[in-house]
Amino acid sequence: MPENLHRRKHLTSFQLIILGFAGVILAGAFVLMLPVSSAEGVITPFNEALFTSTSAVCVTGLVVQDTGSYWSLFGQTVILVLIQTGGLGVVTVASSVVMLAGRKISLMQRSTMQNAISAPKVGGIVRLTRFILKGTFLIEFLGALMLMPVFCRDFGLKGIWMSVFHSISAFCNAGFDILGTSEHRFVSLTGYAGNVWLNIVIMLLIIIGGIGFLTWEDVYTNKLNFKRYRMQSKVILITTMVLIFLPAVFFMVCDFDYVPAGKRILASVFQSVTTRTAGFNTEDLAIMTEAGKAVMIFLMLIGGSPSSTAGGMKTTTFAVLILNAFATFRSQEDAGAFGRRVDGRIIKNAATIAMLYFMLFFFGGITISVCEGLPLLTCLYEAASAVGTVGLTLGITPDLHIISKLVLIVLMYLGRVGGLTLIYAVFSGRNTSNAKLPLEKITVG
């Protein structure tokens, strides 16, 4: 009995993850409320600061105030720190501080780190974390260098800060931009729709951040020897390519017909890449066809890959459900790919994750539609953007009432920490080792 009582005092790794995200969000909101955080030196209302902090930590990109014109340099820096923290993961950042301080990482901390970055095993978790940190800062640094020629040409020395901000925002799949002015707010990257170099750099940062840290390790270790990759990495890379190519063809055929042919291809590919979780846009999304918006909703719900900076129900969840459907069509007992069988528990978890995301998306959209009296498709779009932590908007978010904004805050939070993570945090027992992990926490294969 004393041993049981002692165990109850400790938080599970799932509880640490959700409380860590909540704590950083609240801390960020209080800092953003300060007059020094706004360009005009005024106190920002708590609900607006909370919304912005949640969006930054959950790397979403939905905003109620234009980031470029409303927030001061200090406020933008706070937002960027929140984005970096949310992109890497609160637990990863906290563990990094512990490692830098020279302290040893306990077994419980290693277990929490494993769950936070979806590592397949506890062994080697510290080495993997160091690899993630080095890779992240190197890629963001190179991204900023490649963006500087464009931004420094247009903004002078300020272009250095803009390059750093947009590199981190793109890599973390956050979708925040600081290009807006008091006269032209919420512009995103529409002013650079025809800039091929900037489009390619932003897309590469989004894709690299969205394929996942474990996939990086596979590529780094095995180079171009695709056969030696983990099954999960193979599934992620192929699914990512399909989810970029097919929607790009659809957008090119059905949307952006007002754009010249060359720019139309660029706009279609960019929107296909950014829709699944990044939140930048180079064209006016409000004038897209309803079919195009529906496809974007579908892509936003899928999101990025496990152990990445991206949100959504994950590419592996989508791929496992597709593989299971094909196996059912062929009357096969087990689903599989690359000569490997997909465990039944993984399929069960994939179905549960998909159901959770669709329920959150559907009920969130309906709630906003009822509260605001807006068309359901428009509200479902915002809900999908929030729960998929994407950040794309049809322009309604800044004008929503407080209840609808709270709905989006909840959707962003649940979309980032993961619905099953929250459930396990509430219902898991004294020891998380017996908890069955969701798909994004398992190496498939």
Question: What 8-state DSSP symbol labels residue 312?
Answer: S
Q: What is the DSSP letter of 199?
A: H
- C-alpha 100/C-alpha 60 separation (Å) is 29
> What are the DSSP calls for 18-66, one per residue?
HHHHHHHHHHHHHHHHSGGGBTT--PPPHHHHHHHHHHHHTT----SS-
Nearest in space to 161 (alpha carbons), one of 39, 281, 79, 77? 77
DSSP 71: B
d(CA 323, CA 326): 5
Q: Which residues face 340 on adjacent strands?
A: 337
Query: What is d(CA 267, CA 256) in angstroms, rounded to the nearest whole number?
Result: 8
Sign of CA dihedral 327, 118, 199, 387: positive
Mean pLDDT of the chain: 85
pLDDT at 445: 38
pLDDT for residue 342 is more than 70: yes
149 in Cβ contact with 254 (< 8 Å): no
Q: Residue 100: pLDDT band by 50, 70, 90 thresholds?
A: low
**pLDDT computed for residue 265 by the predictor:** 92
| 394-409 residue pLDDT tens | 989 999 999 999 999 9
SS3 of residue 188 by DSSP? coil
Q: pTM of the prediction?
A: 0.89
Q: What is the mean pLDDT of residues 38-42?
A: 94
| Nearest-5° Cα angle at 66, 65 to 72 | 95
The predicted pLDDT at position 435 comes to 42
Pairing of strands 336-337, 340-341: antiparallel
Q: What are phi and psi of 12, to 5 degrees?
A: -75, 165
Question: Taking residues 193-207, what's their average pLDDT?
Answer: 95
Distances (CA, A) of 95 to 117, 125, 206, 432: 12, 11, 25, 19
pLDDT in tens, 408-433: 999 999 988 876 666 665 555 444 44
Mean pLDDT of 83-102: 74
- Mean pLDDT on 79-95: 82
Q: How many CA atoms lie within 13 A of 38 on its CB side?
A: 19
Residue 168 to residues 137, 224, 257, 421, 423, Cα–Cα distance (Å): 9, 27, 32, 26, 31
**Tens of pLDDT, residues 152-181:** 999 999 999 999 999 999 999 998 999 988
8 pLDDT band, cuts 50/70/90, is very low
Please tell me whether residue 346 adopts helix, strand or coil conformation.
helix
Amino acid occupying residue 64: V
Helix segments in 276-399, DSSP class H: 290-302, 315-329, 344-372, 376-387
Distance between start and end Cα atoms, the chain? 39
Residues in the chain: 445
Spatial separation of the C-alpha atoms in residues 102 and 88, rounded to whole Å: 20
CB 311 within 8 A of CB 58: yes
pLDDT value at position 96? Answer: 67
